[in-house]
């Protein structure tokens, strides 16, 4: 997994609440068996018109956002389906971090597994970022070691993140490898639970 | 001893050891797998030269992208075929049992787990699907995971988790006649909002929950995720045991007696502390119909479409306005004045035998409206056979419905079952997101009885006033 320490980039604002994973990536793109190649279909139904041309009104199609790597979103971003394809699409498009007032649980979890940082900021600071965006100030630095979002003294905010997610991101941890190292404890647990009442009787 | 919740008890019993930085390594008793969220996980195992640790605790089926008509062993959609064949190959290679398209057990993953007795109280259950919360109806800790975690469970039979918070939802009073589990959960989501339970595991309690059948409890737990919850659960009782007894993978004989004794202790202790508590009076719930583009945008059938001007703040006003524009609805339209083009009765929320029976009872003796195309998609082959044995399929086909094979179908429209742009559908599924049932399609979530009544009337009607012809 790609690690995340410090990232500086352009912020694209999509200030809509409750953006669900069906909007992030519609179902017709879930039929592939690969983990990459989803960037072009990110926000498909919002981003393109019926003829497949970019929808001029959709924020991500605005020229100032063409190299965006940070998404500024509304509350409860990523609600709905558990499809990790939603994170793969954001990552493949180029997003390294998403800033929002809140995230849906499974989506946030999926982000960590793919080296995408989710930053929760209170609504007041989100509003500040939105007004900076309206004024054409759309660059930010996100420092995961310091847990800080900032830009040249013009903006500064601290954020909280669960310590384990932070370590996974900072180190680009192979979580499966780490759990496999606990084999002795897992095997011991299985022996202890052999007579548990809930059993699949084959 | 500290009073513990049902969730605490199941959690504690599954902690293998402390994980890094406040996390726990949690053991998983049952892993359900389907074709859409698993191929990348199996491929990850292959690349890292890892095995499936417990293929005996892993079960796979095909449900999401498969057709519900014709010879299902021949898939015309090349992409769907690739995914189906990938699952077959992965199951063969890694030794995972698969309920294939020609198997009598095939069906929606959350319908077959319970009906085969795989789903049991006290278990931890995961699946790469957000509606895994369905299994919580048995007093299990069951939650949806992404593909990376699917790979983690395949390789280790464990997950590294931070313990979520707990929420008690008490349904007091008795639900009225014609008011179903679907209406109860839609009413709850309308009350708390679609992120009202984010970060929490819900325990549903109260007399209205106790009065529900197992299948109805599954409907409630199924939609926990639509309120943002990590999952939902209900303490097991005699209803649970009566449902499970004798099912294929459930404990048998002496093991069954022992299991029942243990499961009977699975409930929240008196005085156990929850991080949040919500009360809702079931007696005041009417049949619900969603009018917008998320499951919290719902109103009683006796109500009307809201006015964006009534929103609490700018964000809510713009959300309502946006939803109404997408749905092609005007503020203050009476719910009963909304006409539908399509009716879909199916999905992991509402495609079990009782759902099919309740729709059939409404439809019996009627024809569906000429302007409506109706579709019944049983949740599993077992449900389909049982319904056919009762002759329910004939009630539907004589009324003008299509009677299909089992699968997820138009709940998410990954197969050919989709709405056309602008089509309006009364659906017993769980999500009314933009484009969910087909690009430009307009979804209204309702109970099976309400969907059946809408098919006959051609518009939404209050099923509490239905004239049954049985």
CB contact under 8 A, A84 and B65: no
Given a contact cutoff of 8 angstroms between Cβ atoms, the answer to whether B31 and B171 are in contact is: no
pLDDT bin (cut points 50, 70, 90) of residue A3 is very high
Residue A101 C-alpha, separation from nearest chain B C-alpha, in angstroms? 12
Q: Nearest CA of chain A to the CA of B240: how many Å?
A: 13
CA distance B89 to chain A (A): 13
Give how far B437 is from chain A: nearest CA, Å.
Answer: 9
What's the start-to-end Cα distance of chain A, in Å? 38
Mean pLDDT in residue range B152-156: 98
Question: DSSP 3-state assignment of B435?
Answer: coil
Q: What is the model's pLDDT at position A202?
A: 64
All residues of chain A having their beta carbon less than 8 Å from the beta carbon of residue B261 are: 197
Residues of A in contact with B322 (CB under 8 A): 16
pLDDT at position B251 over 90: yes
8 Å CB contact of B20 and A83: no
pLDDT digits 0-9 by tens, A151-177: 988 899 999 999 999 999 999 998 999
Q: What integer pLDDT is reported at residue A198 of this predicted model?
A: 67
How far is it between the farthest Cα atoms of chain A?
65
Minimal Cα–Cα distance from A95 to chain B, Å?
A: 19
SS3 B255: helix
Please give the Cα distance from A8 to A32 (Å, whole number). 32
Q: What is the mean pLDDT of residues B448-463?
A: 98
What confidence tier does B197 reach under pLDDT thresholds 50, 70, 90? very high
Residues of A in contact with B252 (CB under 8 A): 201
Among B121, B225, B433, the residue with its CB nearest the CB of A198 is B121
CA angle B182, B412, B332 (to 5 degrees): 55
pTM: 0.97
Mutation site for A-interface testing, chosen from B26, B81, B156 by largest number of A Cβ within 10 Å: B156
Neighbours of B243 (CB within 10 A): 22
For residues A113 and A91, give the distance between their C-alpha atoms in angstroms, rounded to a whole number: 11
Query: At CB < 8 A and 24+ separation, what contacts does B459-463 make?
Result: B459/B336, B459/B337, B459/B338, B459/B339, B459/B340, B460/B289, B460/B301, B460/B335, B460/B336, B460/B338, B460/B340, B460/B426, B461/B301, B461/B336, B462/B178, B462/B286, B462/B287, B462/B301, B462/B302, B462/B336, B463/B178, B463/B287, B463/B301, B463/B362
Query: What does each C-alpha distance from B220 to A54, B131, B183, B317, B447 come to in angstroms?
Result: 40, 11, 9, 29, 11
Q: Phi and psi at residue B350, in whole multiples of 5°?
A: -145, 60
Across the interface, whether the CB atoms of A31 and B82 are under 8 A apart is answered: yes
CA distance A60 to A49: 14
Residue A197 has pLDDT above 80, yes or no: no
C-alpha torsion B201→B207→B212→B217, nearest 10 = 0
CA distance, residue A66 to nearest chain B CA (Å): 25
Residues of B in contact with A199 (CB under 8 A): 120, 251, 255, 259
| Beta-carbon separation of B50 and A176 below 8 A | yes
- A22's CB contacts (< 8 A; 6+ apart) are A80, A81, B412, B431, B433, B434, B435, B436
User: From the CA of A145, how many Å to the nearest CA of chain B?
Assistant: 16
CB contact under 8 Å between A79 and B147, yes or no, is no
Q: Which residues of A140-178 are buried (b: 16+ CB within 10 A; e: fewer)?
A: bbbebeeeebbbeeebebebebeebbbebbeeebebbeb
Residue B24's pLDDT is 97
CB contact under 8 A, B162 and A178: no
Mean pLDDT of the residues in chain A: 95
SS3 label, residue A164: helix
Cβ of A164 and B86 within 8 Å? Answer: no
* B-chain residue closest to A189, CA distance: B16
Mean per-residue pLDDT for A38-48? 97
What does the pLDDT read at residue B449? 98
Angstroms from B456 CA to nearest CA on chain A? 30
pLDDT band at B71; cut points 50, 70, 90: confident
Residues A56-62, mean pLDDT to the nearest whole number: 95
φ, ψ for residue B161, nearest 5 deg: -135, 150
Is residue A196 over pLDDT 90?
no
Contacts of A196 in chain B (CB under 8 A): 122
Condensed to tens digits (0 to 9), the pLDDT of residues A118-139 reads 999 999 999 999 999 999 999 9
* C-beta atoms of B431 and A22 within 8 A: yes
- What pLDDT was estimated at residue B381? 98
Measured between beta carbons, the chain B residues lying within 8 angstroms of A110 are 146-148
Contacts of A164 in chain B (CB under 8 A): 19-23, 160, 162
Q: Which residue has the tokens 């548990």?
A: A196
Residue of A nearest to B319 (CA): A17
Q: Is A198–B122 a contact, with Cβ atoms under 8 angstroms apart?
A: yes
Of the partner residues A20, A190, A196, the one whose CB lies closest to the CB of residue B433: A20
Task: Using an 8 Å CB-CB cutoff, list chain B residues near A80.
Answer: 130, 225, 431, 433
A contacts of B144 (beta carbons < 8 Å):
82, 106
Distance from CA of B391 to the nearest CA of A (A): 32
Cα B6 to Cα B210, B264, B303, B402: the distances in Å are 15, 11, 37, 42
- A139-143 β-sheet, strand order: A117-120, A97-100, A68-73, A6-14, A139-143, A148-151, A155-158
Interacting residues of B434 by C-beta distance below 8 A, sequence separation 6+? A22, A23, A45, B293, B326
List, for residues B298-337, the tens digit of each pLDDT value.
999 999 999 999 999 988 999 999 999 999 999 999 999 9
Query: Shortest CB distance from B195 goes to which of A102, A110, A201?
Result: A102
- Point out the residue among A82, A180, A182 whose CB comes nearest to the CB of B37: A82
Nearest Cα residue in chain B from A200: B249
pLDDT at B1: 78
């Amino acid at each position: 997994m790609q690690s995340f320490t410090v990232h500086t980039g352009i912020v694209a604002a999509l200030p809509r609440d409750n953006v669900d994973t069906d909007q992030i990536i519609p179902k017709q793109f879930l039929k592939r068996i690969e983990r990459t190649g989803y960037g072009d279909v990110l926000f498909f139904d919002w981003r393109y018109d019926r003829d497949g041309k970019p929808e001029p009104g959709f924020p991500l199609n605005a020229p100032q956002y063409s190299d965006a790597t940070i998404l500024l979103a509304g509350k409860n971003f990523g609600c709905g389906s558990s499809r990790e394809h939603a994170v793969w699409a954001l990552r493949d498009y180029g997003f390294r971090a998403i800033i929002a007032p809140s995230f849906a649980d499974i989506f946030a979890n999926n982000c960590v597994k793919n080296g995408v940082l989710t930053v929760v900021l209170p609504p007041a600071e989100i509003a500040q970022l939105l007004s900076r965006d309206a004024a054409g100030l759309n660059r930010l630095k996100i420092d995961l070691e310091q847990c800080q979002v900032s830009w040249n003294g013009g903006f500064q905010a601290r954020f909280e993140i669960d310590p384990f997610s932070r370590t996974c991101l900072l180190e680009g941890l192979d979580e499966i490898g780490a759990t496999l190292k606990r084999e002795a404890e897992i095997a011991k647990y299985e022996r202890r639970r052999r007579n548990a009442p809930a059993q699949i009787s084959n | 001893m500290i009073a513990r919740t049902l969730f605490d008890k199941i959690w504690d019993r599954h902690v293998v050891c402390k994980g890094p930085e406040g996390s726990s390594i949690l053991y998983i008793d049952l892993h359900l797998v389907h074709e859409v969220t698993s191929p990348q996980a199996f491929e990850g195992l292959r690349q890292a030269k890892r095995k499936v640790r417990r293929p005996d605790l892993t079960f796979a089926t095909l449900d999401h992208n498969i057709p519900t008509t014709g010879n299902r062993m021949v898939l015309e959609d090349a992409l769907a075929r690739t995914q189906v064949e990938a699952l077959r190959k992965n199951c063969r290679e890694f030794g995972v049992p698969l309920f294939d398209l020609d198997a009598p057990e095939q069906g929606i993953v959350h319908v077959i787990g319970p009906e085969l007795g795989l789903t049991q109280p006290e278990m931890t259950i995961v699946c790469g699907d957000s509606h895994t919360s369905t299994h919580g109806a048995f007093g299990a800790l069951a939650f949806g995971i992404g593909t990376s975690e699917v790979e983690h469970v395949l390789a280790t039979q464990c997950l590294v988790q931070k313990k979520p918070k707990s929420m008690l939802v008490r349904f007091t009073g008795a639900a009225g006649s014609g008011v179903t589990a679907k209406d109860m959960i839609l009413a709850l989501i309308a009350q708390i909002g679609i992120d009202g339970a984010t970060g929490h595991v819900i325990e549903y309690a109260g007399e209205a929950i106790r009065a529900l059948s197992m299948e109805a409890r599954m409907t409630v737990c199924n939609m926990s995720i639509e309120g943002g919850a990590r999952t939902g659960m209900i303490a097991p009782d005699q209803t649970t045991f009566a449902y499970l007894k004798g099912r294929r993978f459930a404990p048998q004989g002496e093991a069954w007696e022992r299991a029942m004794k243990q499961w009977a202790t699975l409930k929240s202790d008196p005085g156990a502390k929850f991080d949040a508590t919500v009360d809702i009076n079931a007696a005041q719930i009417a049949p619900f119909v969603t009018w917008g583009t998320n499951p919290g945008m719902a109103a009683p059938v006796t109500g009307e479409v809201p006015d964006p001007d009534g929103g609490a703040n700018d964000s809510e006003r713009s959300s309502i306005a946006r939803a109404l524009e997408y749905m092609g609805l005007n503020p203050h339209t009476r719910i009963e004045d909304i006409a539908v083009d399509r009716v879909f009765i199916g999905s992991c929320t509402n495609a079990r035998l009782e759902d099919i029976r309740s729709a059939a009872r409404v439809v019996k003796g009627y024809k569906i409206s000429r302007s409506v195309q109706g579709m019944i998609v049983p949740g599993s082959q077992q449900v389909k056979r049982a319904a056919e044995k009762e002759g329910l399929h004939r009630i539907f086909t004589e009324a003008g419905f299509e009677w299909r094979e089992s699968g997820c179908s138009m709940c998410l429209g990954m197969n050919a079952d989709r709405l056309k742009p602008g089509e309006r559908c009364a659906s017993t599924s769980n999500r009314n997101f933009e484009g969910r049932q087909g690009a430009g399609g307009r979804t209204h979530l309702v109970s099976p009885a309400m969907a059946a009544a809408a098919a006959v009337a051609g518009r939404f009607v209050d099923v509490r006033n239905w004239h049954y012809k049985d």
